[in-house]
Amino acid sequence: MFYRITKIVILMSFSFFLMNASYAVESKTTVKSPAIKKATTTGFMQEMTEIRVHEGPDRSGKEVYEYRCKGCHGKNTQGAPMPDDKFEWSMRLRNKGMDTLLKHSMEGFNNYLMPPKGGCRNCNQKEVYAAVYYMMETSGIKLKKSDKK
């Protein structure tokens, strides 16, 4: 357990170090060099710092899941419940209730191991909720109409 927490702390400090390092490079250069632009990462960390507004109709639960949630939930990273894990999702549903699960999906949970909006900063609430329903329903849970907000 202690080892796991230490590992997370080290990983997090390293990512913040990387983020700060790229800020420092960007802010010192007046002309944006394509080489520097190319060197910055794309994907999760970039999305966390730079919000691009999503245009167009709301994405489906599956799309949001594949876009963001899958990164962790697809391989049980730090214990993120997998979309085919009926046992795990049923336990969470029974112990916490749907309202809490949805709240945690928007606000984050457990020291941001589960990040706010699952890291999908340009998702609206409906899209994040749809991704939660998607994971639970693919696990085989039959959600009631009243479960869906």
- Number of residues lying near ligand HEC (CB under 6 A): 28
Binding of ligand HEC by 110 (CB under 6 A):
yes
Binding of ligand HEC by 78 (CB under 6 A):
yes
CA angle at residue 58 from 19 to 89, to 5 degrees?
75
Nearest alpha carbon to residue 54 among 68, 74, 39, 41:
68
Closest separation in Å from C-beta 28 to ligand HEC? 30
Per-residue DSSP letter, 114: B
Selected range binding ligand HEC among 16-24, 33-41, 96-104, 138-146, rule: CB under 6 A: 96-104
Selected range binding ligand HEC among 14-22, 24-32, 34-42, 72-80, rule: CB under 6 A: 72-80
In sequence order, what are the residues at sequence separation of 6 or more whose Cβ sits closer than 8 angstroms to the Cβ of residue 8? 78, 113
Binding of ligand HEC by 122 (CB under 6 A):
no
Concatenating the DSSP letter of every residue in 47-111 gives HHHSPPPP-SSPPPHHHHIIIIIHHHHTTTGGGPPPTT-HHHHHHHHHHH-HHHHHHHHHH-BTT
Binding of ligand HEC by 104 (CB under 6 A):
yes
- The correct pick among 59, 80, 83, 98 for binding ligand HEC (CB under 6 A) is 80
Output 33 or 124, the one with its CB closest to ligand HEC: 124
